[in-house]
């Protein structure tokens, strides 16, 4: 009897033609563990697209620093130093890592540090205040050094994470070449302490090659790392190129940021997976207050433009929810910024009809020249749509390369340019520290497009003095945020998440600060660079996205 019923059931199921029952798409898990390679194989190779501050990211891969920026509360971890003592407000002792060799095989010790710091002091970088505050360094013994400051400097340790330590050979040839942008190795060669050797191409602040090749450093102090022998870095891919190379093809690109609206494509890709993660990236849209007769000198217009931006809508339709509302340009994923902006509404929230009418009356007919990298164009289309509602017209200048952006930004102060708004993808290069964005408000620096604001300037001088875990620090951050918010010095947008496409056979955990820990990345035995056979068919199915929630 039971058998009969079962049979009937089976028959009735069979009776329904297979094509009438639709099975959902099967998503495979990101279960690389069993296949991951934990040692460096010859020929292993990944290709990475770095459209924002490539000189910074490359520098972090090829150079050693005493401290390394990291996603820690203080924003750094020890690297070439293994410990430090703050003797007083003006004196710091650091212990150095022993038994470490430069990429050319020469020894690293206190002498190397002294030589580097002395060279640095001759031509320091200017994007922090170290050039006004560091006095000198002295050797205590072979692995101990002592730093002396002119005045207290809360950002001292963070700054150490930006001072590259070069081999003697490099210093003899190039010395230390600080500038407004981050410093980096000038030519390919075995000059650094980082996990990778710069083998071909270069990226220094205002100049870069479209392609940069790195090779694993055999002398790297973490002896098992890096796990991948070769890295190719692209600095100027267009968004479309990058998306095609990573989502549709295999072996052309392994890691790349993608626009938010490509998330579904990335999920369904045969070769790539999607990774999203809150970031401390800041989309900076400068207002040019330097421009001769520039309309944005007018505070009312700047505020009106910000009010014309409806952030919740932007977040939903353009960001595809990959981000968070942010009252200023600084990412609210900085703890201090989150605290400072807690009570501030975003400008465009709850605009009444009458207010909208008023905004229209002052914005209508405005024509603004916008400079942007091609990768932000999708975002600009959303902004443009909203501004259009208020009668604002936008003229674009578009580039694929960040160096063009720098050219227009960093010469603007000396020689004001014609742009009204300029977009810069400002990743958290300073390591979990709001200086990453505040440095654009220091009107004494090339990075600022504000003509004058003495109050803000004073706040920033004060800001330098406090360590980031102090109460005074939070207070001064509050003041700066309040000041920049009230003056609407930039076009404020939601804080974006990091949205990456990564080859399915690559294991890579991105950092929340602007460093790419590729020396910790691994590939599986199915990766295109080392695989012998064809790609296993089951791996072509879409993969569940990786959503990192911090």
Partner 1 sequence: MIQYLRIRYKFFMMAALGVIAIVLMSLLAQNISKDGFKRLQDVFDDSKKVQHIQRDFIAPLFNLREITLALVTAPNNDYRREIKKDLIPLMQKLDASFSFLNDSEINLIWQNYKKLILLTDEYMQLGFEEGAFTNVNNSERKQFYILVSKLEQIQEVQLSNSSSTFKKAENNFYDKEQLIIAGAILVVCLTLIFGFLIARNIVFSIENVQTGLDQFFNLLGRKIDKDEKISISLKSRDEFGEMAKKINTNVEILRNNLKKDLHIIESATNVLDEIKKGNLSSRLKELASSDELNRLQHVMNEMLDNLNERIMLEINERTKQEQLLIQQSKLASMGNMIGNIAHQWRQPLSEVNAILMSIQAQKENNDLDDETFFKGFEECDTILAHMSNTISDFQNFFKPSKSKCKFSLQEACKSASFIIESSLKYNQIHYEMNFVQNSEVFGYPREFSQAILNILSNAKDILLERKIKNPYIKLTLLQGEKYALIKIQDNGGGIQGEIIDSIFEPYFTTKHASRGTGIGLYMSKIIIEANMQGYLNAKNTEEGALFIIKLSLEKEPDKK
* Contact map string, positions 241 to 280, toward partner 1, x by CB under 8 A: ----------------------xx-xxx-----x------
Contact criterion met (CB below 8 Å) for 299 and 490: no
Smallest distance from partner 1 to CB 83, Å: 41
93 contact partners, CB below 8 Å, separation of at least 6: 84, 85, 87, 140, 144, 145, 146, 147
Conformation bin of residue 467: beta by default, left when phi > 0, alpha when psi is -120 to 50? beta
Smallest distance from partner 1 to CB 140, Å: 52
Omega into 226 within 30° of 0, i.e. cis? Answer: yes
360 makes contact with partner 1 (CB under 8 A): no
Partner residues linked to 145 by β-bridges: 94, 139
CB-nearer residue toward partner 1: 316 or 357: 316
- Quick one: which of 3, 25, 532, 534 contacts partner 1 (CB under 8 A)? 25
21 makes contact with partner 1 (CB under 8 A): yes
Task: State how far the Cα of 419 lies from the Cα of 410, in Å rounded to an integer.
Answer: 13
DSSP for 256-276, written as a single string: EE--GGGHHHHHH-SSEEEEE
321 makes contact with partner 1 (CB under 8 A): yes
The site that binds partner 1 (CB under 8 A) totals a number of residues, namely 25
411 makes contact with partner 1 (CB under 8 A): no
CB-nearer residue toward partner 1: 24 or 99: 24
Task: State how far the Cα of 160 lies from the Cα of 248, in Å rounded to an integer.
Answer: 42
16 makes contact with partner 1 (CB under 8 A): yes
Contact criterion met (CB below 8 Å) for 426 and 267: no
Task: State how far the Cα of 72 lies from the Cα of 69, in Å rounded to an integer.
Answer: 8
* Residue/partner pairs of 528-534 with CB below 8 Å, 24 or more apart: 528/250, 528/251, 528/503, 529/43, 529/44, 529/45, 529/46, 529/230, 529/251, 530/37, 530/41, 530/43, 530/44
27 makes contact with partner 1 (CB under 8 A): yes
Contact criterion met (CB below 8 Å) for 306 and 299: no
- Quick one: which of 299, 320, 324, 360 contacts partner 1 (CB under 8 A)? 320
Torsion of CA 75, 78, 84, 86, to 10 degrees: -10
Return the number of other C-beta atoms located less than 10 Å from residue 305's C-beta.
31
Under rule CB under 8 A, which residues in 62-101 are in contact with partner 1? none
Smallest distance from partner 1 to CB 262, Å: 10
547 makes contact with partner 1 (CB under 8 A): yes
Task: State how far the Cα of 501 lies from the Cα of 267, in Å rounded to an integer.
Answer: 9
316 makes contact with partner 1 (CB under 8 A): yes
3-state SS of 508-529 is CCCCCCCCCCHHHCEEECCCCC
* Contact map string, positions 209 to 248, toward partner 1, x by CB under 8 A: ----------------------------------------
CB-nearer residue toward partner 1: 97 or 263: 263
13 makes contact with partner 1 (CB under 8 A): yes
354 makes contact with partner 1 (CB under 8 A): no
545 makes contact with partner 1 (CB under 8 A): yes
Task: State how far the Cα of 542 lies from the Cα of 251, in Å rounded to an integer.
Answer: 17
Query: Six-digit token pair at 57?
Result: 């990211």
360 contact partners, CB below 8 Å, separation of at least 6: 389, 390, 391
- Tell me how far CA of residue 477 lies from CA of 54, 86, 130, 334, 499, in angstroms: 28, 23, 19, 11, 28
- Quick one: which of 1, 3, 18, 23 contacts partner 1 (CB under 8 A)? 23
Task: State how far the Cα of 247 lies from the Cα of 270, in Å rounded to an integer.
Answer: 7
* Contact map string, positions 488 to 527, toward partner 1, x by CB under 8 A: ----------------------------------------
- Quick one: which of 83, 105, 312, 345 contacts partner 1 (CB under 8 A)? 312
Smallest distance from partner 1 to CB 266, Å: 8
Smallest distance from partner 1 to CB 543, Å: 11
Smallest distance from partner 1 to CB 259, Å: 14
309 makes contact with partner 1 (CB under 8 A): no
Task: State how far the Cα of 369 lies from the Cα of 294, in Å rounded to an integer.
Answer: 11
186 makes contact with partner 1 (CB under 8 A): no
Span interacting with partner 1, options 156-164, 315-323, 419-427, 509-517, rule CB under 8 A: 315-323
20 makes contact with partner 1 (CB under 8 A): yes
24 makes contact with partner 1 (CB under 8 A): yes
Smallest distance from partner 1 to CB 316, Å: 4
5 makes contact with partner 1 (CB under 8 A): no
- Quick one: which of 1, 3, 5, 15 contacts partner 1 (CB under 8 A)? 15
Span interacting with partner 1, options 8-16, 101-109, 287-295, 396-404, rule CB under 8 A: 8-16
CB-nearer residue toward partner 1: 202 or 260: 260
Smallest distance from partner 1 to CB 549, Å: 9
12 makes contact with partner 1 (CB under 8 A): yes
385 makes contact with partner 1 (CB under 8 A): no
Span interacting with partner 1, options 15-23, 104-112, 237-245, 425-433, rule CB under 8 A: 15-23
278 contact partners, CB below 8 Å, separation of at least 6: 324, 333, 495, 497, 498, 512, 548, 549, 550
Query: Six-digit token pair at 210?
Result: 């479209």
CA 110-115-121 angle, 5° bins: 125
Q: Which of 238, 251, 307 is CA-nearest to residue 299?
A: 307
541 makes contact with partner 1 (CB under 8 A): no
Q: Which residues bind partner 1 (CB under 8 A)?
A: 12-13, 15-16, 20-25, 27, 263-264, 266-268, 274, 312, 316, 320-321, 542, 544-545, 547
């Amino acid at each position: 009897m039971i058998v009969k019923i079962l049979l009937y059931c089976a028959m009735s199921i069979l009776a329904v033609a297979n094509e009438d029952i639709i099975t959902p798409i099967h998503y495979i898990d990101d279960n690389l563990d069993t296949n991951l390679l934990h040692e460096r194989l010859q020929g292993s190779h990944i290709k990475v697209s770095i459209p924002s501050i490539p000189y910074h990211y490359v520098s972090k891969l090829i150079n050693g620093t005493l401290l390394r920026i990291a996603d820690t509360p203080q924003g750094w971890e020890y690297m070439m130093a293994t410990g430090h003592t703050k003797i007083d407000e003006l004196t710091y002792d650091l212990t150095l890592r022993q038994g470490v060799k430069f990429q050319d095989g020469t020894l690293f010790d206190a002498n190397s540090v002294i030589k580097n710091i002395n060279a640095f002091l001759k031509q320091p970088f200017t994007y922090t205040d170290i050039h006004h505050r560091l006095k000198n360094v002295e050797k205590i013994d072979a692995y101990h050094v002592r730093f002396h400051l002119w005045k207290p400097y809360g950002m001292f340790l963070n700054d150490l994470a930006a001072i590259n330590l070069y081999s003697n050979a490099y210093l003899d040839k190039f010395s230390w070449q600080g500038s407004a942008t981050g410093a980096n190795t000038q030519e390919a060669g075995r000059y650094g302490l980082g996990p990778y050797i710069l083998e071909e191409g270069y990226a220094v602040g205002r100049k870069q090659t479209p392609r940069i090749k790195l090779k694993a450093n055999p002398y790297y102090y973490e002896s098992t790392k890096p796990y991948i022998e070769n890295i190719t870095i692209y600095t100027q891919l267009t968004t479309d190129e990058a998306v095609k190379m990573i989502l549709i093809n295999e072996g052309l690109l392994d890691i790349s940021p993608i626009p938010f609206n490509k998330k579904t494509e990335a999920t369904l890709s045969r070769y790539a997976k999607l990774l999203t993660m809150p970031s401390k990236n800041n989309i900076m849209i400068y207002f040019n207050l330097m421009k001769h007769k520039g309309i944005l000198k007018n505070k009312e217009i700047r505020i009106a433009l910000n009010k014309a931006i409806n952030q919740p809508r932007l977040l939903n339709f353009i960001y595809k929810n990959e981000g968070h509302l942010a009252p200023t340009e600084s990412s609210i994923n900085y703890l201090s910024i989150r605290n400072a902006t807690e009570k501030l509404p975003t400008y465009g929230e709850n605009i009444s009809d009458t207010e909208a009418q008023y905004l229209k009356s002052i914005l209508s007919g405005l024509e603004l020249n916008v400079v942007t990298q091609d990768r932000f164009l999708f975002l600009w289309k959303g902004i443009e749509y909203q501004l259009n509602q208020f009668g604002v017209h936008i003229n674009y200048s578009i580039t694929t390369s960040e160096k063009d952006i720098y050219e227009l930004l960093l010469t603007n102060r000396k020689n004001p340019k014609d742009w009204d708004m300029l977009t810069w993808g400002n990743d958290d290069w300073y390591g979990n520290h709001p200086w990453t964005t505040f440095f654009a408000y220091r009107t004494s620096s090339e990075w600022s497009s504000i003509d004058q604001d003495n109050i803000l300037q004073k706040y920033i001088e004060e800001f330098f003095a406090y360590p980031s875990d102090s109460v005074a620090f939070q207070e001064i951050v509050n003041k700066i945020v309040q000041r920049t918010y009230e003056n609407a010095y930039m076009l404020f947008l939601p804080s974006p998440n990091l949205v990456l496409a990564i080859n399915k056979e690559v294991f890579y955990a991105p950092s929340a600060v602007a460093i790419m820990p590729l020396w910790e990345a691994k590939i599986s035995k199915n990766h295109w660079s080392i695989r012998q056979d064809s790609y296993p068919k089951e791996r072509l199915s879409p993969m569940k996205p990786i959503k990192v929630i911090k």
